[in-house]
Amino acid sequence: MSYHDGLMLRRTCAIAAFAICSAFMPSVCAETGYDAWLRYAPLDPAAAKQYARLPVAVFVSSGSPVLESAQAELVRGVRGMLGKTLHVESRMPAGDAIVLATFDALAELGLSAPPEPVEGTYLLKAVERKGSSMLLIAGAGDRGILYGVFAFLRRIATGRGIEHLDEQESPYAPVRWTNEWDNLDGSIERGYAGRSIFFDGGQVVPDLTRALDYARLLASIGINGCTVNSVNTDPRTLTSPFILELARIADVFRPWGVRLSMAIDFSSPKSIGGLDTFDPLDPQVAAWWKQKADEIYRAIPDLAGFVLKADSEGRLGPSAYSRSHADAANVLARALKPHGGLLFYRAFVYDHHMDWRNPKNDRARAAYDSFHPLDGQFDDNVVLQIKHGPIDFQVREPVSPLLGALEHTNEAIELQITQEYTGQQRHLCYLVPMWKEVLDFDLHASGQVTYVKDLVSGRTFHRPAGGFVGVANVGLDANWLGHDLAMANLYGFGRLAFDPNLSPREIAEEWTRMTFGNDAPVVETIVSLLMESWPAYENYTGPLGAGTLTDIIQAHYGPGIESSERNGWGQWHRAGADGIGMDRTVATGTGFIGQYWPEAARLYESLENCPDDLLLFMHHVPWTHLLHSGKTVIQHIYDSHYDGAARVQTFPERWQELKGRIDEPRYEAVLAKFEYQAGHAIVWRDAVCDWFFRTSGIPDAQGRVGHHPGRVEAESMTLDGYTVEPVTPWETASGGKAISCLRPACTATFRFEGKSGTYDIAVQYFDENAGVARYKLIVAGKMAAEWLANDTLPSDQPNGHTSTRKSVRGILLHAGDEIRIEAKPDAKDHADIDYVELTPARR
Ligand code: GCV
């Protein structure tokens, strides 16, 4: 569904919602996911009862665009959920009222404010005053009130009472930003939900409704800054006409308390500024940045700051002039300083041409080696933006040691909401439990208990700035992230940034209630699916801290196990005949473990202490090394891949239990995603197990690897028109081969030789992004299924990205029945097929 169709449907639904659901029946009105967790669907009558005494008069103690948003949101939410229309009064009402006030205004109401609240703090309080009930939504600044309104509506949406309300919350850290990797042409780097909501064809889009609605979503979870263009930025971002265009985005963000920030190109003084240098220590360059910052602040007075990726993955940086990262950061920070702006300097700096033959080379060391020596040299409005792990958003990484190594520098942790290495929003992978583990990790900085959440928020070393940055990459898809359930990650990022002491389960439950309603089976099922999803994904994609075994050169999506090796990118797992893993010990390896403070290093340096889930990140061990679990490494790899794939086979069935309890469009969309994920998890399982079997030479003790009962290889079928072709990499096709149709039409046929009964039939084919092939599955002369290979998977070749499963369930088969696939290729999609698998019916 396009954005505009989605919007129309949403509007129609909003108007119809109360008419249809005015009897407070659970709403199963068609939804697009556009409203995300801010649906404000009518509560059922029993739940609504507890809010019967909610005052209908609202008084707002002052006016500002943010307060107007707060007030309008309150009216909208209460109307949607309770069917009650609030009246906004211009004077303090004599009777019961909801009062929105800043802490500064509380004294006038005869109430006291919390001592020294940080910006964004809110207070929800039920107060009896002169015989009337007052429901106070107070805040430190307008943002505090806005956050209070969202917290209040969240209470109602999740069915929590407001009788004796007394809730006060302060944001854990001042920085709670998203980064969007949007390009000016409208594409999004590592975006999986359509094109940019901000840019198209080199311009800011004329209609910024989506940007405005995004700001509302961000505000509802306490996000206060958003960098709208990719860190791999286009220097044109800083040209005068473009600054004026960006100002339009800042204008739509402002009423929601979200400040715009921009990614900048370090070579700009030369590339667009007319200077012959961008040397940060050249006074002309400093003057250029100062004049540029002044110009930007004239157009965007509340710009939050700049983000810079320099000397990384081909981006120009201070090394061009043998200057330090501190020199580069400070020249920008000084230009921003008079305006109150922050400079985020990304610590994602590494050499991507490293010599893989040198066993001492290690990309994981790079951030610490580059930035730790500079601690204390950065100005106070510089924030080092540090990815949570030392490599790059893998399914499992240790915490970056740099996070514990900066006592005199502000830092922010960078988390990735967009699922670059974790299934690209085609697989469900709820990342909040992973982030929580990271934030709760004790880095023992200076020998003290120092959790990551306290280091990054600036609490540990009393830094003036710091916090949380999430790379979101929302797009024009109606549901923002492409998979309705992936929105739990955006929600969870904001909730953790505001309060990292929340638990992943609490967040999952809150999000589910707001997004899908309070129906108990719905809540139970979705929460359990979310909570199981990261462990399952880790199990079928990446073992024991070796990284996600994906194709790291291209799409970062399907399996591509060897792509990590023998190149300069440094994501090596060093698997070979003798064993697997990177030796990062101080004693014999790269010394990476020595970058941790001694108490944390002790956890990793010895094989005895090292946790199983990071073993291969830290050590090189033989295949037969015994884990703490008692299994050998190789058997763990086989077992975990089978377990993970088996777990997600249950996802579609469990989701189907919710039919009728969730609106049809979202029900169907998620079901289709789960069916796809279940099939692709098998591709992952088989690719990883086959590759490790060939490399280790050690068979699976349970006899599963390489043995697939019920599987008929396409190359063994009777082929008409099809030819047998090798697939690259070999492990992404069963038996390393597939059949390819280079004629206008082809067929592949075989006879069923098993016991008569009801079977599920899976056709494993390759859905290449090079045309739309057509398939028909004909069983005993009858059409069993017909489909198009029209997905937009990230490759135009048969491989682990494109291998796709079509499942047809409950087909009655008799011994000797003919099973035939008829295919028509299209353009360069050759209707490739890997195999057909027949299993006794499951459902
Ligand atoms: C924006 C990884 C991603 C790149 C990304 C980079 C970064 O390498 O694959 O797309 O570039 O990280 O974070 O800068």
Per residue, the 3-state secondary structure of 296-328, as one string, reads HHHHCCCCCEEEECCCCCCCCCHHHHCCCHHHH
Q: Is 276 a catalytic residue?
A: no
Q: Please state the separation of Cα 63 from the chain's center in Å.
A: 36
Dihedrals phi, psi of 599, to nearest 5 degrees: -65, -40
**Amino acid letter at 737?**
K
Smallest CA-to-CA distance from 815 within 765, 769, 753 is with 753
Angle between helices 141-157 and 209-220 (to 10 degrees): 80
CA gap 598, 445 in Å, rounded: 9
233, 392, 569: residue to mutate for ligand 1 pocket, most atoms within 8 A of CB: 392
Smallest CA-to-CA distance from 421 within 452, 389, 453 is with 389
Alpha-carbon torsion (652, 656, 661, 664), positive or negative: positive
Q: Kind of pairing, strands 803-813 and 757-766?
A: antiparallel
Dihedrals phi, psi of 794, to nearest 5 degrees: -85, 50
CA gap 263, 242 in Å, rounded: 13
Helices (H) and strands (E) in the chain, counts: 19, 27
557 DSSP 8-state letter: -
Beta-bridged to residue 169, according to DSSP, are: 122
Task: Give yes or no for a cis peptide into 504 (omega within 30° of 0).
Answer: no
What is the pLDDT confidence band of residue 22, given thresholds at 50, 70 and 90? very low
CA–CA distances in Å: residue 748 to residues 764, 812, 820: 13, 20, 6
Q: Kind of pairing, strands 722-726 and 757-766?
A: unpaired
User: Among the options 73, 420, 477, 639, which is catalytic?
Assistant: 420
Q: Is the model's pLDDT at 16 over the cut of 50?
A: no
Ligand 1 center from residue 677 Cα (angstroms): 24
* Residues 242/292, Cβ–Cβ less than 8 Å: no
Q: Please state the separation of Cα 653 from the chain's center in Å.
A: 25
229, 313, 571: residue to mutate for ligand 1 pocket, most atoms within 8 A of CB: 313
Q: Please state the separation of Cα 636 from the chain's center in Å.
A: 27
CA gap 103, 121 in Å, rounded: 9
CA gap 663, 609 in Å, rounded: 49
Ligand 1 center from residue 348 Cα (angstroms): 9
Ligand 1 center from residue 176 Cα (angstroms): 20
- Residues 754-807: tens digit of each pLDDT: 999 999 999 999 999 999 999 999 999 999 999 999 999 999 999 999 999 999
Query: For ligand 1, which residues put their CB under 6 angstroms from it?
Result: 181, 189-190, 230-232, 309, 313, 348, 392
Q: Is the model's pLDDT at 453 over the cut of 50?
A: yes
Element housing 766 (H / E): strand 757-766
Smallest CA-to-CA distance from 581 within 541, 523, 621 is with 621
Q: Is the model's pLDDT at 132 over the cut of 70?
A: yes
The strand order across the sheet containing 782-789 reads 718-720, 746-751, 818-824, 773-779, 782-789
CA–CA distances in Å: residue 575 to residues 6, 304, 309, 546, 694: 48, 45, 32, 9, 11
Dihedrals phi, psi of 344, to nearest 5 degrees: -95, 120
Q: Is the model's pLDDT at 4 over the cut of 60?
A: no
Ligand 1 center from residue 422 Cα (angstroms): 14
Q: Is the model's pLDDT at 13 over the cut of 60?
A: no
User: What is the mean pLDDT of the segment spanning 116-121?
Assistant: 94
178, 183, 188, 190: residue to mutate for ligand 1 pocket, most atoms within 8 A of CB: 190
How much is the pLDDT for 25?
42
DSSP result, 357-398: T-TT--GGGHHHHHHGGGTT-S-TTEEEEEESSSSSS-SS-P
- DSSP H helices, 176-267, are 209-220, 240-253
* Residues 162/96, Cβ–Cβ less than 8 Å: no
Atom of ligand 1 nearest to the CA of 414: 13
CA gap 232, 468 in Å, rounded: 20
Ligand 1 center from residue 90 Cα (angstroms): 51
Q: Is the model's pLDDT at 27 over the cut of 60?
A: no
Ligand 1 center from residue 549 Cα (angstroms): 17
Beta-bridged to residue 442, according to DSSP, are: 451
Query: For atom 8 of ligand 1, which residue has the closest CA?
Result: 392
What is the pLDDT confidence band of residue 719, given thresholds at 50, 70 and 90? very high
Which range is least confidently modeled, 38-42, 309-313, 544-548, 792-796? Answer: 544-548
Beta strand segments in 716-756, E: 718-720, 722-726, 737-741, 746-751
Ligand 1 center from residue 76 Cα (angstroms): 39
614 DSSP 8-state letter: G
837 DSSP 8-state letter: E
CA gap 413, 460 in Å, rounded: 14
- HSE of 810 in the Cβ direction (CA atoms, 13 Å)? 1
CA–CA distances in Å: residue 811 to residues 70, 87, 217, 654, 762: 56, 60, 45, 21, 11
Query: For atom 7 of ligand 1, which residue has the closest CA?
Result: 348
Q: Is the model's pLDDT at 17 over the cut of 80?
A: no
- Residues 468-510: tens digit of each pLDDT: 999 999 999 999 999 999 999 999 999 999 999 999 999 999 9
User: What is the mean pLDDT of the segment spanning 235-261?
Assistant: 98
Beta-bridged to residue 783, according to DSSP, are: 778
User: What is the mean pLDDT of the segment spanning 20-38?
Assistant: 72
Ligand 1 center from residue 231 Cα (angstroms): 8
How much is the pLDDT for 111?
87
Neighbours of 726 (CB within 10 A): 11
Element housing 786 (H / E): strand 782-789
CA–CA distances in Å: residue 591 to residues 354, 368, 726: 16, 12, 41
Beta-bridged to residue 167, according to DSSP, are: 124
Smallest CA-to-CA distance from 573 within 546, 555, 599, 605 is with 546
Ligand 1 center from residue 442 Cα (angstroms): 27
Residue 341: Cβ-neighbour burial (10 angstroms; 0-12, 13-18, 19+): buried
* Residues 161/135, Cβ–Cβ less than 8 Å: no
Query: For atom 2 of ligand 1, which residue has the closest CA?
Result: 392
- Residues 398-415: tens digit of each pLDDT: 999 999 999 999 999 999
Beta strand segments in 40-94, E: 57-60, 87-89
What is the pLDDT confidence band of residue 62, given thresholds at 50, 70 and 90? confident
Ligand 1 center from residue 374 Cα (angstroms): 23
What is the pLDDT confidence band of residue 20, given thresholds at 50, 70 and 90? very low
User: What is the mean pLDDT of the segment spanning 381-387?
Assistant: 98
**Amino acid letter at 291?**
Q
Beta-bridged to residue 451, according to DSSP, are: 442
User: What is the mean pLDDT of the segment spanning 19-39?
Assistant: 72
Dihedrals phi, psi of 490, to nearest 5 degrees: -65, -45
CA gap 340, 394 in Å, rounded: 35
CA–CA distances in Å: residue 145 to residues 70, 120, 275: 7, 8, 46
Ligand 1 center from residue 235 Cα (angstroms): 18
Q: Is 392 a catalytic residue?
A: yes
* Residues 705/689, Cβ–Cβ less than 8 Å: yes
CA gap 572, 617 in Å, rounded: 10
Atom of ligand 1 nearest to the CA of 309: 14
Average per-residue pLDDT in the chain?
95
What is the pLDDT confidence band of residue 843, given thresholds at 50, 70 and 90? low
CA gap 52, 46 in Å, rounded: 11
CA–CA distances in Å: residue 430 to residues 148, 181, 341, 751: 26, 21, 33, 42
How much is the pLDDT for 112?
87
Ligand 1 center from residue 417 Cα (angstroms): 13
User: Among the options 182, 392, 538, 713, which is catalytic?
Assistant: 392
User: Among the options 276, 313, 440, 668, which is catalytic?
Assistant: 313
Smallest CA-to-CA distance from 581 within 635, 551, 544, 606 is with 544
Tokens of 323: 């200057």
DSSP result, 418-442: S-TTTTTTTS----HHHHHHHHT-B
CA gap 140, 201 in Å, rounded: 41
Ligand 1 center from residue 752 Cα (angstroms): 48
Of the chain, the end-to-end C-alpha distance in Å amounts to 30
Residue 255: Cβ-neighbour burial (10 angstroms; 0-12, 13-18, 19+): buried
Q: Please state the separation of Cα 828 from the chain's center in Å.
A: 32
Atom of ligand 1 nearest to the CA of 230: 1
SS3 480: coil
- Residues 523-538: tens digit of each pLDDT: 999 999 999 999 999 9
Tokens of 596: 């941790």
